[in-house]
Structure 1
Amino acid sequence: MNIKFDPNNVVIKLCMSGMVMEENGNTEGSIMMFLKAWHEATDDYERFIAAYHLARQQKSITDKLKWMETSLQCALNINDDNVKSAYSTLYLNIAKCYEELCDSTNARRNYELSNSYKGAPSDEGPFYHGTKADLQVGDLLIAGGNSNYKPNLKMNHIYFTANANGAGLAAALAKGEGRERVYIIEPTGEFENDPNVTDKKFPGNLTRSYRSKEPLRIIGEETEWVKLTTTERHKWRENLAKNKGEIIN
């Protein structure tokens, strides 16, 4: 199975709405939205995401534990690279619940499981990088260039993703006048989860976004991805201008 994170998925959109309510202090509204997401979920992937957000909102530790374990079980049922990055976070939250319940045996077991899933990502791709630069197969993309999003910021890493639509978004927002390009790349060295998205709004790295200090080699070009509408592009640029899309380097 190879699940792609889709921001237009009904359950993900409901959870995003719930998180906006949460940020605005409307806790009751956010819980209602996450419950709606849970009831509208049609598969384990959607249930895993909805249960995680419901777990975060529970005041009772036993309720939080129940929902977090539900989320984990749904994630384990999927057994997909897109979801494995969330295992460490889920086990960690479960361990903390057991610790608060003074169950040291289960707390220790879940801390150990959380640690066992930490480390370098196991994603095997294919991987993509979006840009407006006109490049050739065999060319290397290297870190140290200027950020597409913040003027005068030198990037210590080069970013890429296993989601062609995510790379297409990066291409649409990249500086330059050239046409949007999504290149198929292979990392030449170690890479890590992109800290800008990992464990931020969703557990783990569901967008399969990565970064590396080592060059990325271009091995082809992708021509099929979902293009942004003019309205969507304008909205993304507004968010970036407000620093909502800030890249942490």
Structure 2
Amino acid sequence: MVAMADEMLVAGEGQLKGFMSVAGNPVLSTPNGEKLDEALSGLEFMVSLDYFVTETSRHANIILPPVSPLERDHYDITFNGFAVHNVAKYSPALFSKTENEKHDWEIYLELADRLDKDAPEAVQKERAATKAFGPKFLLEQGLKYGPYKDVTLDALIDNPHGIDLGPLHRMLPEAIKHADKQINLNVDFYQADLERIKEMMQQYDNQEILLIGRRHVRSNNSWLHNSYRLVKGKSRCTLMLHPETAAQHGIEDGQDVRVTSRRQCGYCSRGD
């Protein structure tokens, strides 16, 4: 994301002239969004998969809206990898989609068919099979060949609140693919650049504060700001400071603070 706007704005070999955004609003959620906003406006073609016309998708030549979250089945894959306990839960769609609506995966497959008509036969067969059976079949097969033989899709449907599979299983050191079965922390690529980081940190003035952004459950970066129900109410732009840092800068709890950088400024209140 750091160089994406430059890749679009700087003319020459390798210049990005097309872009596809999926469920994201980087004009709001990335630093120096004004520059990216300018870059997107100069593209030759842009496609967005989105429910809304956002600060980013407004530049798209075509917006392809997928079905809503309540019109799709859900089985978490990403966050199960961060879980502290083994569980499995499946949620069927609450509403059926209409004939003209498409799931994300259906949109991707149709785009692939139209843009890559000369794909190898094996790839075309794989696409056809995915269209015919859908992700539910893939989930069934994944559960079938997974470590818990009693966990089937039917079992998950019969247990709408999920199935408790017990504590996590030890996976180390077997999961480490290095020959010595140790995690390589001293990677040459990063180690060689540590001195530059030290020099950069030493350049900071003692009066400067390093600002770190965070997600809020009701905004989730910029994904949910189109929902009035979620964004209404008092401002949640709070600044969390160490008490000593706050005292050093003469900032009291609840005081309005002006936060500035070389690119932009904004206002927030100091929280606890």
TM-score by structure 2 length? 0.22
Larger radius of gyration: 2
